[in-house]
Structure 1
Amino acid sequence: MKKICTLLLLCLFAITVAAQTDTTPSSKKLTKAETEEFFTNTFKKKNLINFPIFRAYTYHDKSGTYYVALSESADTVNKEKDTVNYTLKAFNFNVDKSISLKKWEINDFKTPNLKGEEKESSIWFWTKYCEFNDLDSDGLIDPIIVYGTFGTNGYDDGRAKILIYYKGQKVAIRHQNGVLDNERKTQVDVTFYSLPTQIQTHIKELMEKMVKNKHAIFPTAYAEKMDKKAVSISNE
């Protein structure tokens, strides 16, 4: 009986150790309670997180455990009762025991009014497209953050930005929607074409979803031009 108990304890210990050292990439969206538990008022003050946290995530891979906060300024509410943001910020923290180290931060804002004329009304995170997955199966999560703006014609002339974080490197695709063909412009960081093929393919599929959902109007034949590694894409 004593031997059985010892074996059971050893098995339990082995399972516990395995769970603690599991490096299989995983991620989840935090609940409101989980968000408040990690991003306490003290933590937010220390790390200058001054805007309300709209959405938070945690992910784990072979490099460690991370927490991400997407925050928006929530400046006012429009006549449609939608929250209007002039600025947004995102934060990524690597957590090791009781130490939290900021790995990266995003700061952006809507185009300022010019001579009283409003070109963009709001900016916000498009969480429908944000994700935290290991896209190239190298044991590391590849965060994708997407956000955009509303222009005078809503999505039709707003902007969109896709940010990919690959092994600490930020790679961006910046896009300007437009009602007219010649107003649509897409800028692709040259480093995008150095990313693993799986990630490039995934981003192109994400862009197709944005088009299907009428959140983006990319220039004609943009996919074919990206296949040729174009960095500046337009209809001109």
Structure 2
Amino acid sequence: MTDAGDRIGLACPSCSPEAETVHEVIRPGGHATVRCTACDHTHKAEVVEPETTALTIVVSQDGESFTTEMDVPTAGVVATGEEFVVDTAEALMEVRITGIELGPERRVEEAPIDDVETLWTRAVDNVSVDVTLHPKDGDADQTRSLRLTVPGDTEFEVGETVEFGDEEFSVEGLQIRDDAPAYRHEKLDHPGDLAYAKDLKRLYARDETLTAWSAW
């Protein structure tokens, strides 16, 4: 249901009678009192509440997962790779759809929301990125790994030097996740190639940390 303070799209009789503008709900109801945010005109408007359905959503994050339920508009279509915000009692989380289940053993890439039984998703607002670090001297026996926790929209670019805490490294390759939107290749390794942290399966880099290989 629409509540006071919510923002909705409506035609404004003062400044935009033919096209919708953003309105703030002042007093909710079937004939709500709303204010146009474009011109501050306050007027009455019929607010039709969309039909909703309860949808089961499985959210995966850093190897763990939890299940929640959310009311979503019945009209519309969902597809793998799309992102949306899950509103749970614990937090608001931005997630990406990784699987659409219509029933037992029935998974598809796209479907009307009304046909969906469960959405499988992965949290992408904050993500962990696995990094393989090669030593400066090229000794493969001393290759090591670390894990970075960063906002999902953090950009990594091949050729750039990155600092995280005491770590410093130059990016050499970006391994793209299977559920990421279309990239040029599955692995990016040309200078200037760029990807977001939420799209990365692994990052390959050359260690630039001065004390990384000290025996002490």
Q: Does TM, normalized by the shorter one, top 0.5? A: no
Indicate the structure with greater strand content: 2
Shorter-chain TM range is under 0.3
- Largest Rg, 1 or 2: 2
TM-score (normalised: structure 1) = 0.25
Structure with the larger RCO, 1 or 2 (CA within 8 Å, 6+ apart): 2
TM-score (normalised: structure 2) = 0.26
